[in-house]
C-alpha cells in the first residue's frame, strides 16, 4: 500500500509463537470504559488486503489517527509480532482463529468493551461471542470478516474445472502447484483425508491423533516434491501464478480477485471435499500504546460500508448483517454472492481455523496432537 506508513521491523523467532495455548493466563486488565482523545496514530498487524487506502485514508482524515501497517504472512507471525516489545509496539491485530486463543491465553490481548462498539449489535449471531475470541463470557476479540480457503486454478491448464483437491496432490501438475507456508495447512490435508481415507477416522481436521497426524504428514511429504514454491504472503502466490508457471493451488479469494483484475485467466472453486477457512477478529494488545485510536478504528471497521468495501476487495463475508445493502450498492448481487443474505448455512459449511489442542472434543478418550506438534511436523514436511 502506498499511502500508509508501513512499519518495518525485524521479526523475532516465530517458533516461540507456535507454542500451544497456556503461556500465562488471559489478561485481567479492565476494559476501556470510554473512548477518549486519539493519540495520533494506531499500529496494525494485518493480512495483506486488510488495510487499503480506499477505507483507511477517510478514517485518518476523520480522526487524525495515522494508520501504520505491518503485513503478516501467517498466524504464527502475527502472534510473534503482537509479543514484540512485551506487546507495546502494535495496537491491533486481525487475528484468525488459529492465533486468537494463543494470544488470549498468553495474556497478550486485553478484554474489549462491546458497549463502545455499537455495530456489534448487528453482527451475525455466530460471530457475536464465538469461542475463538470470547472466553468465560469475556470478549477478547471483535469479529470482522470471514471466508473459505479455495482451490485456485488457471483455466487454460484445465479442460474442465477441477472438482476435487486431488489436483494439488497430482504428479500431473508437478512443479506447478503452490500451497500456504503455514502449519495450519495440515488441516487442509486432514480434511482431504476425511473423504479419501475414512478408515483413519478423522472427524475434525484440527483434532488429529498421533496416527492421524502421521498419515497427513505422509501425504504432505509426497506433495512437497510437487510444489513449485510455498507461499507466505498473498502477493507471493499472485506472482507465482503471473510469472512462474504455477497453475493450481490453495488460496484465498483475494488472490483470485487480484489476478483477474490483472487479466490472468484464473477461477476459484470450493471442491467436493469441503474447505477450511478463517473468521478474523480485531484484538487489542494488553499493552497497546494507542488504545483510543484503536477503539476508533475498530468502530470504523465495523460499520456497514467499510465492511462491505473490505469484503468485496478481499472476497469474503462481513460480520455486520447491515453490510448487505452496502455491498449491493457497490457491486450488484454481491451480498448474495458472498452469502451475507443467508450466512448461517454458509458459515456451518466451513471448517474454520482453530488452534489444535491436546484435548480431543470429537472423540471420547482420545488424545490429540497440539499446535506445537503440528509446527514440528510442518518443519519435517518442508525438510
Cβ burial of 3 (10 Å; 0-12, 13-18, 19+) is: exposed
* CA atoms of 77 and 8, how far apart (whole Å): 14
* CA atoms of 52 and 58, how far apart (whole Å): 11
* CA atoms of 294 and 38, how far apart (whole Å): 8
* Cβ atoms of residues 250 and 152 within 8 Å: yes
Find all residues with CB under 8 Å of 36, minimum gap 6, and list them: 292
Which is it for the CA torsion 271, 272, 276, 281, positive or negative?
Answer: positive
Among residues 152, 146, 145, the alpha carbon closest in space to that of 256 is found at: 152
User: How many C-beta neighbours within 10 Å does residue 361 have?
Assistant: 12
Which grid cell is 122? 448487528
**pLDDT tens, per residue, the chain with 383 residues:** 333 333 333 333 344 444 445 446 898 899 999 999 999 999 999 999 999 999 999 999 999 999 999 999 999 999 999 999 999 999 999 999 999 999 999 999 999 999 999 999 999 999 999 999 999 999 999 999 999 999 999 999 999 999 999 999 999 999 999 999 999 999 999 999 999 999 999 999 999 999 999 999 999 999 999 999 999 999 999 999 999 999 999 999 999 999 999 999 999 999 999 999 999 999 999 999 999 999 999 999 999 999 999 999 999 999 999 999 999 999 999 999 999 999 999 999 999 999 999 988 876 668 999 999 999 999 999 98
* Cβ atoms of residues 67 and 4 within 8 Å: yes
Fold match between domain 14-146+278-352 and domain 148-276+355-382: yes
* CA atoms of 365 and 183, how far apart (whole Å): 25
* CA atoms of 99 and 230, how far apart (whole Å): 20
Please name the fold of domain 148-276+355-382: D-Maltodextrin-Binding Protein; domain 2 (3.40.190)
Superfamily of 14-146+278-352 according to CATH: Periplasmic binding protein-like II (3.40.190.10)
Sketch the domain layout of the chain as residue ranges: 14-146+278-352, 148-276+355-382
* CA atoms of 110 and 175, how far apart (whole Å): 44
Amino acid at each position: 500500500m502506498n499511502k500508509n506508513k508501513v512499519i518495518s521491523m525485524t521479526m523475532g523467532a516465530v517458533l516461540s509463537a507456535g507454542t500451544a495455548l497456556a503461556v500465562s493466563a488471559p489478561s485481567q486488565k479492565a476494559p476501556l470504559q470510554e473512548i477518549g482523545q486519539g493519540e495520533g496514530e494506531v499500529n496494525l498487524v494485518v493480512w495483506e488486503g486488510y488495510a487499503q487506502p480506499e477505507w483507511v485514508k477517510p478514517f485518518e482524515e476523520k480522526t487524525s489517527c495515522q494508520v501504520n501497517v505491518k503485513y503478516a504472512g501467517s498466524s504464527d507471525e502475527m502472534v510473534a509480532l503482537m509479543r514484540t516489545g512485551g506487546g507495546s509496539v502494535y495496537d491491533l491485530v486481525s487475528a484468525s482463529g488459529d492465533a486468537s486463543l494463543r494470544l488470549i491465553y498468553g495474556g497478550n490481548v486485553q478484554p474489549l468493551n462491546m458497549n463502545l462498539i455499537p455495530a456489534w449489535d448487528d453482527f451475525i449471531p455466530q460471530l457475536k461471542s464465538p469461542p475463538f475470541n470470547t472466553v468465560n463470557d469475556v470478549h477478547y476479540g471483535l469479529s470482522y470478516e470471514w471466508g473459505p480457503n479455495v482451490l485456485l486454478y488457471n483455466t487454460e491448464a484445465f479442460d474442465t474445472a477441477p472438482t476435487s483437491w486431488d489436483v494439488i496432490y497430482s504428479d500431473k501438475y508437478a512443479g506447478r502447484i503452490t500451497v500456504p507456508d503455514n502449519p495450519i495447512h495440515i488441516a487442509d490435508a486432514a480434511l482431504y483425508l476425511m473423504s479419501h481415507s475414512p478408515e483413519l477416522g478423522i472427524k475434525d481436521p484440527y483434532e488429529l491423533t498421533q496416527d492421524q497426524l502421521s498419515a497427513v504428514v505422509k501425504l504432505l511429504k509426497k506433495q512437497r516434491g510437487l510444489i513449485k514454491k510455498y507461499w507466505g504472503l498473498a502477493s507471493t502466490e499472485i506472482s507465482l501464478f503471473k510469472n512462474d508457471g504455477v497453475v493450481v493451488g490453495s488460496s484465498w479469494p483475494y488472490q483470485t480477485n487480484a489476478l483477474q483484475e490483472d487479466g490472468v485467466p484464473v477461477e476459484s472453486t470450493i471442491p467436493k471435499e469441503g474447505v477450511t477457512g478463517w473468521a478474523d477478529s480485531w484484538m487489542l494488545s494488553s499493552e497497546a500504546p494507542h488504545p483510543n485510536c484503536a477503539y476508533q478504528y475498530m468502530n470504523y471497521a465495523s460499520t456497514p460500508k467499510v465492511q462491505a468495501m473490505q469484503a468485496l476487495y478481499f472476497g469474503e463475508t462481513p460480520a455486520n448483517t447491515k453490510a448487505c445493502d452496502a455491498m449491493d450498492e457497490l457491486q450488484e448481487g454481491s451480498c448474495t454472492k458472498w452469502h451475507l443474505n443467508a450466512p448461517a448455512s454458509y458459515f456451518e459449511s466451513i471448517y474454520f481455523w482453530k488452534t489444535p489442542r491436546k484435548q480431543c472434543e470429537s472423540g471420547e478418550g482420545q488424545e490429540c496432537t497440539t499446535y506445537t506438534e503440528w509446527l514440528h511436523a510442518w518443519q519435517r514436511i518442508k525438510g
